[in-house]
Structure 1
Amino acid sequence: MTERQPEHDGDVKNIRRFVAFLGVFILLLSQFLVFSQPLVDNVLMPPYAWLGIIGVLVLIASQLIPPTPFWRRLSGGLVFRAGVFWVVAALLFSALATGATAFFMTYTRVNYIPVVTVWLLSAVCYVFAFAQGIPASGSIVDWLKSHRNEVILVLALMVFAAAPRFYDLGYTPRVLDGDEGSVGLNAQFTVSGPLTNPFAMWENFGGLYLQMINLGLRFFGVNSFGLRLMPAIAGVLAVPAVYLLGRWMGGRRIALIAAVMLAFSHSHIHFSRIVSVAYIQDTWLIPLELYFLLSGLEKRQSWRTALSGILLAMHYSIYLTSQIVTAIILIFMVLALIFHRTWFKARLSQAMTFWGGFLIMVLPSLYYAFRVPQEFMSRLGTSGTFQSGWLEQTMQLTGQSAAQILLERVVHAFLSLFYYPAIDFYGSPVPMMSFLSSVMFLAGLGIALWRLRQPSYLLLNGYLWGATVAIGVFATPPSADSYRMLMVLPAAMTLAALGLDQILEFIGVGWGEARNGYRFSVAAVLASLVVFNLWTYFADFAGKCRFAESQAGRFASYLGWELSRIDSESEVFLLSDDFFSHGTHASTFFLSQSRRVTNFPDPIDMIDAVSGEIIIAPPSRIEELRLWARAHPGGQLHYEYDCDTLMLMSYRLP
């Protein structure tokens, strides 16, 4: 463990450190102000350069403070001591990042790397303020040595989890849905315009997340693989995150079972392979946030809860579900204060540390929400139960009361885990959880409810039910529940692991009394689940061309691929109709890099095409183009099949 040197009132190092920090802070402020102003030629001194000079003078002056009795007494004051100093430094750095964000938004600057750097420095300072409980490097090495087999096991599981997520990632699912195309296009807009701000939002996708997606596009090209890279990475990261949460909740066996189930969950694999649903990021962020919160509270280690609050604040730059998690944790702490008063009061400082880290780090996101509230509340405005008018319309159509409708919505959201098929953004005829895992989940849920008097199970239940109620009450349509409930899948898998463990215990095949029987039973169940889930995804779904909302949506991807292989000089005509036309799906623009196409709804005989130009036909007009090509021979025909269906035909004129 790291140990701080005792602070003596007899020296002035604390006051010198504080003044030196003020000098650095003024220097940073001056540079942000200079950078935010328009460039002016032929000036003796750029705007705000004088502030930088003051910063340098303050920095030098910090080392000139004499060790007189006055300065010694002042240096020993509470405000200058290490813990308070680093919290103040974190607050000032975050405030500076927020102010810089305001300047950059006003003057439309596009390089926010300095802002993000200062923001991350704020996080480092805040955690360092509570560094007394952080293990030293030697302790970490010793822990890794003593837990070598466990670490290797988790790493191996991550490799196995990566295989079904990265295998043929750019081509399975075969097509992009329209929302994937929109995400890809807006990710590319992060190099200029409002989305260069990492704290900005588009459709409640965080600017930082979109910039990470664009990073994948820059490394691997503007294609399906580059677009889907970040969800695939998130899918792999979810495995150790769930392992950590499960290990804290029930030990290594529970953790391993939960991690294996999540690693090979067909629904988790699918949403790790598409970018249109950002809930996949919740499957590693939320377990990690709750792990550090719960372990910090129970071990009374403030650095853990500080890290939890920081992660939650960063979550705001990923997706809107961070708002739900904030409410869940707040309600958990209120309930803990009421029903576990003695336990919680002993950990009040850790709870305050959590909220301190969260509030400090979330400042830039809160400023953006204040400045652009319509984007911060975007999804609630379009898909919210109350804001969109859905509840009022449903009451008029059904004659039911608001309470009855909302209760049915919560039940529907819960049943989407194991009863209703996962249709939206998937197309699978089976629910998110298999038959076996559903049985285990319900058993584990009953046990978790029975153990509700334990703070850890109170939080686990809050995770599951809080998110379920939030989705059921505040989000529409009901068909979207399946993919939205993805955010609680880690909790469901942890409960399923608990259920399996306890079922075996109840029937006399528990770990303590029949280890070989326990191992065999768990291995058999997990092997069955792995086979079922892999078959469900790769054979029953991916091989059946079920992804995307309609044939028009699937055609849009084939059109985009066809346009991407055509040289840019060639004129392209699409034989369009009321169902198939260019411009209806963003996936076409993304895959073709916004290639221009002329929709031609008239009969093909009226087309005025010349040599080298290309005519493309959708399924509804393929026969028309085929007959026309026979009447105008000599060109090049190209076909694209969607499983057994001829989806597209193109003809390059001779």
Structure 2
Amino acid sequence: MSSPADRSPRPASFPDIGAALVLAGLAQAALGAYLLSLDGPPLASLAVAILGSLETLVGALALKHIATRLARLAAWVGVSATQALAIANGLVLAMAARAAAGDGPLVLSPLATPLWLAGIALVVWGCSRRGEASAVRRWTRLEIAAVGLLALAAFIVRAWDLGHMPFVLSGDEGSAGLTAWEFRTGARDNVLSLGWFSFPSFYFALLSLGQLIFGRTTEAIRIVSAFAGALTIPALYALAREMLSRPAAFAAAAWLAAFHVHVFFSRLAYNNIFDGLLLILAAGGLWRGWQSGERRAFLITGLTLGLSQFFYTTGRLTPILLALWLALLALHRRPDRARLAGLTSMLLAGAAVLLPLGLLYVAHPYELFFTASRVSILIPGWTAEAAAALGTSASGLVVEQIWVTALGLTVGELQGIYYASGAPLLISLSGVLFFGGLALCLARFKQPRFSLWLLILAGTILAGGLSIQAPNSQRLLYLAPALAMLVVLPLEQAWIWAVAHWVRGRSAVLVSGAILLAVMMAQNLDLLFVRYFPREEYGSLNGAVTQEMIAILPAFPDETKVYFFGGERMGFASIPSLAYLLPDAAATDADSAQDVPADATGLLAIVLPEQAPVLTKLERRFPEGAGMRRYNRFGRVLFDLWAVGEAAAALPSISP
């Protein structure tokens, strides 16, 4: 029986190919000339013009041998010559998108995003095979309903009271919100450039969709992560059901739905929650494609691989880990023509997505590593000093950090400015089952369905060990789907054993597994919502000060003159969340009471605790004023207020 790639479309005649080459080449040459007039990235513009001219020449000069080779190459991939032309022109359009986008927040041409999307569409259509049957096991209605309800429950857990848990909107979230808001105001429209902290702007464009619905609010920028986190649940189920039994797949998805680290980062305006989702989609497509030769599965992998580079730095691991896994897949099942053609399609689709961003990094290579360099222990000069302070060598420090990161899985408390939960990644029963799953994977490493999770585990621990604040929660988040699989593997093995050796006891095994799963889910939700959020330490003390200012400043009249006494610790606008949530708020950073005019009326002074002498002088200078002390939720003093005039009259309206 022939494989899908053997049933190749009949090559088109040369006159048809030649005419298509001429028309497409002329259009590309004209596009290249237009892009050169924009004074944007010259290499991309010039490449588009040159490739268009060459394509025109090939068609016009009747270079039949080139066209024939093109047709043969198309036949090998299993597509028509017309589709091959679509692929080539799609890649050129993706390259043109880079030239039309430029480097700044505003595109050089409004054609930038349409060119990118058109290029992706052409490549996907060019690589597709018509009438291809799906090799996926059919989903039952009950299965669809169960997974849908689980995904809905996961979203509710991630979106409930999103504006107050976490209570503080961190400075990083505020910066992300400000960048996203630029898409709403028209100050930014380039989704193919870089934004805050050198992250690709595509993520901030997604955040702006939340702002379109909810406005300039905390919920608007956090809801996108809640959706991404919830979508990871059915994505993991879809992959797991191809590798394991359906009960085990549902258990893995349910465990991830309640996993405390995954739920927490699904409630932040931070882009790392997308990395796990795209990893699972890419791995799922590759697994299905390799098992069946199905072209659309390879295309899904290619698209998600390309898109994975538009989010957090852990996404850089995805193509590396899947390349290693592909080698193991090839050892387990030798690739035939259908799979090699599928891999080619995968790479072409990924290239179409990634080309604009990749060419930007080629032009500005330091931007590729900027974000990672801010959190790496390999910063020049830092490693040697830290190693000396700990009495070890630089290499010894790296090994120690990797070891500490590994301990964070089940023993060491998670660190990081985002989520220091006071617990390891895996708690209680989850940790016990994790070791069982790890042992199973090690024993069956040669089987790709087990080796994938070990590769993800090893890669993430290594990357986490090279970063500061190990074991760092925001980097270890990448592990979440793999941990879900490792935790349920012992339950899966128990189910397999019962089916083979204890038919009458299958129900008992299934019920026992369900009870264990429910206990693990309850333990994770209890840690996050019952033990962590009530004592939340998310964000910095300065962030808590800013959050309180955001809460009280709207109570004062618009004409109130605000003076902020932050000393050396912070300035009024040092935490971007204030600028995001209160864009019209303004204050004067002051050092002494003398900075406030003696005849000032309607003033409000915000004084940090370490500036107590300033508060005393303000009270003496403006004895007619009134004061109030503001605390955080745990009774710690955040700052004192001293108000004069109408501002003093507004103090009673502020809730204690």
Partner SS state of residue 310, structure 2: coil
CA offset at residue 423 of structure 1? 3.4
CA offset at residue 99 of structure 1? 3.2
Q: Which residue number in structure 2 is paired with residue 162 of structure 1?
A: 155
CA distances 1:359-418 after superposition (whole Å, capped 9, x unpaired): 343221221111122221102333333344343334433443454433332222222222
Q: Which residue number in structure 1 is paired with residue 649 of structure 2?
A: none
Q: Which residue number in structure 2 is paired with residue 214 of structure 1?
A: 208
Q: How does 1:108-187 map to 2 (within 5 A)?
A: 109-110=106-107, 114-132=111-129, 147-187=140-180
Give me the whole-angstrom Cα distance separating, in 2, the residues matched to 1:505 and 1:248: 15
CA offset at residue 431 of structure 1? 1.8
CA offset at residue 636 of structure 1? 9.1
Q: Which residue number in structure 2 is paired with residue 488 of structure 1?
A: 479
CA distances 1:573-605 after superposition (whole Å, capped 9, x unpaired): 123334454233222332222632112332489
Alpha-carbon distance change, 372 to 382 in structure 1, aligned in 2, over 3 angstroms: same
Query: Bigger shift: 6-15 or 531-540?
Result: 6-15
Give me the whole-angstrom Cα distance separating, in 2, the residues matched to 1:459 and 1:621: 55
Q: Which residue number in structure 1 is paired with residue 514 of structure 2?
A: 523
Query: Bigger shift: 609-618 or 192-201?
Result: 192-201
Q: Does the aligned pair in 1 maintain the 2:565–2:606 contact within 8 Å?
A: yes
Q: How does 1:181-196 map to 2 (within 5 A)?
A: 181-189=174-182, 196=190
Matched, 1:577 2:567: yes
Partner SS state of residue 243, structure 1: helix
Q: How does 1:378-457 map to 2 (within 5 A)?
A: 378-424=370-416, 425-457=418-450
Q: Which residue number in structure 2 is paired with residue 547 of structure 1?
A: 538
Specify which of 266, 273, 276 is matched with residue 267 of structure 2: 273
Give me the whole-angstrom Cα distance separating, in 1, the residues matched to 2:108 and 2:125: 28
Give me the whole-angstrom Cα distance separating, in 2, the residues matched to 1:130 and 1:250: 30
Give me the whole-angstrom Cα distance separating, in 2, the residues matched to 1:187 and 1:611: 37
Give me the whole-angstrom Cα distance separating, in 1, the residues matched to 2:221 and 2:559: 26
Alpha-carbon distance change, 483 to 466 in structure 1, aligned in 2, over 3 angstroms: same
Q: Which residue number in structure 2 is paired with residue 499 of structure 1?
A: 490
> Amino acid of the residue matched to residue 357 of structure 1?
A
CA distances 1:100-129 after superposition (whole Å, capped 9, x unpaired): 423442797437763223222332333323
Q: How does 1:641-652 map to 2 (within 5 A)?
A: 641-645=632-636, 647-648=638-639, 650=641, 651=643
Give me the whole-angstrom Cα distance separating, in 2, the residues matched to 1:487 and 1:264: 16
CA offset at residue 149 of structure 1? 1.3
> Amino acid of the residue matched to residue 122 of structure 1?
G
| CA-based RMSD | 4.0
CA distances 1:406-454 after superposition (whole Å, capped 9, x unpaired): 3332222222222222232113111222211111111111111111111
Give me the whole-angstrom Cα distance separating, in 2, the residues matched to 1:233 and 1:112: 31
Q: Which residue number in structure 2 is paired with residue 198 of structure 1?
A: 192
Q: Does the aligned pair in 2 maintain the 1:571–1:613 contact within 8 Å?
A: yes
Give me the whole-angstrom Cα distance separating, in 2, the residues matched to 1:388 and 1:118: 40
Q: Which residue number in structure 2 is paired with residue 92 of structure 1?
A: 89
Query: Bigger shift: 552-561 or 361-370?
Result: 552-561
> Amino acid of the residue matched to residue 410 of structure 1?
I
Give me the whole-angstrom Cα distance separating, in 2, the residues matched to 1:411 and 1:508: 39
Give me the whole-angstrom Cα distance separating, in 2, the residues matched to 1:537 and 1:487: 18
Q: Does the aligned pair in 1 maintain the 2:171–2:576 contact within 8 Å?
A: yes
Q: Does the aligned pair in 2 maintain the 1:15–1:75 contact within 8 Å?
A: no
Q: Which residue number in structure 1 is paired with residue 652 of structure 2?
A: none
Query: Bigger shift: 200-209 or 104-113?
Result: 104-113
Give me the whole-angstrom Cα distance separating, in 1, the residues matched to 2:110 and 2:226: 25
Alpha-carbon distance change, 479 to 21 in structure 1, aligned in 2, over 3 angstroms: same
Partner SS state of residue 615, structure 1: strand
TM-score normalised by the chain length of structure 1: 0.83
Q: Does the aligned pair in 2 maintain the 1:297–1:351 contact within 8 Å?
A: no
CA offset at residue 220 of structure 1? 1.6
Give me the whole-angstrom Cα distance separating, in 1, the residues matched to 2:112 and 2:357: 13
Alpha-carbon distance change, 533 to 14 in structure 1, aligned in 2, over 3 angstroms: same
Give me the whole-angstrom Cα distance separating, in 1, the residues matched to 2:213 and 2:304: 26
CA offset at residue 272 of structure 1? 0.8
CA offset at residue 152 of structure 1? 1.2
Q: Which residue number in structure 1 is paired with residue 303 of structure 2?
A: 310
Alpha-carbon distance change, 567 to 129 in structure 1, aligned in 2, over 3 angstroms: farther
Give me the whole-angstrom Cα distance separating, in 1, the residues matched to 2:80 and 2:612: 72
Q: Does the aligned pair in 2 maintain the 1:292–1:307 contact within 8 Å?
A: yes
Q: Does the aligned pair in 1 maintain the 2:102–2:108 contact within 8 Å?
A: no
Partner SS state of residue 110, structure 1: coil
> Amino acid of the residue matched to residue 261 of structure 1?
W
CA offset at residue 464 of structure 1? 2.0
Q: Which residue number in structure 1 is paired with residue 653 of structure 2?
A: none
Q: Which residue number in structure 2 is paired with residue 236 of structure 1?
A: 230
Partner SS state of residue 605, structure 2: strand
Alpha-carbon distance change, 30 to 207 in structure 1, aligned in 2, over 3 angstroms: same
Alpha-carbon distance change, 17 to 91 in structure 1, aligned in 2, over 3 angstroms: closer
Q: Does the aligned pair in 1 maintain the 2:105–2:190 contact within 8 Å?
A: no
Percent same amino acid among aligned pairs?
23
Query: Bigger shift: 574-583 or 360-369?
Result: 574-583
Give me the whole-angstrom Cα distance separating, in 1, the residues matched to 2:570 and 2:116: 47
> Amino acid of the residue matched to residue 409 of structure 1?
Q
Give me the whole-angstrom Cα distance separating, in 2, the residues matched to 1:80 and 1:334: 25
Partner SS state of residue 235, structure 2: helix
Give me the whole-angstrom Cα distance separating, in 2, the residues matched to 1:610 and 1:215: 43
Give me the whole-angstrom Cα distance separating, in 2, the residues matched to 1:534 and 1:609: 55
CA offset at residue 331 of structure 1? 2.6
Q: Which residue number in structure 2 is paired with residue 101 of structure 1?
A: 98
CA distances 1:522-575 after superposition (whole Å, capped 9, x unpaired): 2212222232222211221111232213x2231122223434555554321123
> Amino acid of the residue matched to residue 10 of structure 2?
E
Matched, 1:590 2:580: yes
Q: Which residue number in structure 1 is paired with residue 368 of structure 2?
A: 376
Alpha-carbon distance change, 20 to 629 in structure 1, aligned in 2, over 3 angstroms: farther
> Amino acid of the residue matched to residue 523 of structure 1?
A
CA offset at residue 262 of structure 1? 0.8
Partner SS state of residue 563, structure 2: strand
Query: Bigger shift: 435-444 or 196-205?
Result: 196-205
Query: Bigger shift: 497-506 or 525-534?
Result: 497-506
Q: Which residue number in structure 1 is paired with residue 605 of structure 2?
A: 615
Q: Does the aligned pair in 2 maintain the 1:87–1:125 contact within 8 Å?
A: no
Give me the whole-angstrom Cα distance separating, in 1, the residues matched to 2:377 and 2:336: 35
Partner SS state of residue 203, structure 1: helix
Q: Which residue number in structure 1 is paired with residue 341 of structure 2?
A: 349
Q: Which residue number in structure 2 is paired with residue 42 of structure 1?
A: none
CA distances 1:303-328 after superposition (whole Å, capped 9, x unpaired): 31232122111221223223211221
Q: Does the aligned pair in 1 maintain the 2:563–2:605 contact within 8 Å?
A: yes
Q: Which residue number in structure 2 is paired with residue 467 of structure 1?
A: 460
Q: Does the aligned pair in 2 maintain the 1:641–1:648 contact within 8 Å?
A: no
Alpha-carbon distance change, 614 to 396 in structure 1, aligned in 2, over 3 angstroms: closer
Q: How does 1:25-104 map to 2 (within 5 A)?
A: 25=28, 29=32, 36=38, 77-78=71-72, 82-104=79-101
Structure 1 residue runs of 5 or longer lacking an equivalent are 39-47
Give me the whole-angstrom Cα distance separating, in 1, the residues matched to 2:638 and 2:421: 21
Count of aligned pairs: 620
Specify which of 559, 569, 587 is matched with residue 549 of structure 2: 559
Q: Does the aligned pair in 2 maintain the 1:505–1:511 contact within 8 Å?
A: no
> Amino acid of the residue matched to residue 588 of structure 1?
L
